[in-house]
Amino acid sequence: MTSPRKLALVTGASGGIGLEFARLLARDGYDLAIVARSEPKLREVARELHDAFGVDVTPVALDLSAADSADALAARVESCDVLINNAGFATNARFEKIDESRIEEEITLDVLTLTRLTRKYLPGMLAKRSGRILNVASTAGFLPGPFMAVYYACKAYVISFSQAIAEELRDSGVTVTCFCPGATDTGFAARANTGDTLLFKFPRANAKAMAKAGYRGMQKGKLMVVPLLGDRVVELSARLTPRRMLLWFSRKAVEVEEQHA
């Protein structure tokens, strides 16, 4: 008699790094629950992964920026062995010009939903003394970000939160890994209005390669994964550069002309 396959839950799985995480998990024999806003895209991904790897894939169409979305997801997927909190978005604009509703959605998705999902699925993992949690932050979390102040602050929260919970879980059988990629070739830039910025004019990392780095780190139970040398330079520079200079560099990386108006 074969034992049931483990279940992995991946948010933001309809494209980009989230989709690549789902492919890696399916390759390794995990059944999947994949979450994103677009049901047609999720169903397409579910078919692809089932046909390629023979695993069961449950698409869950949810807007995780809604306040009650963590409850709705937990009602559909009661437990998991691997949780990848990947969903997130950013806004590149002067803070006073951003709609308050968008600010609320950004903080809800990037901070509150991630935190609540970790809280909802962690007890089940602890009961089995086995589980992996991967929280996707960003190199943005290492420094303040003028014109993307909310996003950078959210990612700083994810780094701090993930490290603290990881320490609480020492020797529990459950690990928490924080993944901090830099600029990557996904749909992120278009939604954030950063496609024409200096940050995204340089060569961008490949989503598949980034996902592999994060996935390996998670499976090894690493505390932090900062995948590329350039990303690690950002981390080090944030510690050593004088604050005013750091703010100037951070500003220039994402500034666009209309932000001067």
Please identify every residue annotated as catalytic.
Answer: 151, 155
3-state secondary structure (DSSP) of residue 1 = coil
> Would you call 135 exposed, middle or buried from its count of C-beta atoms within 10 A (0-12, 13-18, 19+)?
buried
Report how far residue 241's alpha carbon sits from residue 247's, in angstroms, rounded to the nearest whole number: 9
* Tokens, residue 48: 């692809």
Of 213, 144, 208, 145, residue with least CA distance to 177: 213
DSSP class per residue in 185-254: SSSHHHHHT-TTSHHHHSPPBPHHHHHHHHHHHHHTT-SEE--SHHHHHHHHHHHHS-HHHHHHHHHHHH
* Tokens, residue 248: 């100037």
Report how far residue 161's alpha carbon sits from residue 113's, in angstroms, rounded to the nearest whole number: 13
- Eight-state DSSP code of residue 184: B
Report how far residue 62's alpha carbon sits from residue 105's, in angstroms, rounded to the nearest whole number: 13
The helix or strand, by DSSP H or E, that contains position 173, with its residue range, turns out to be none
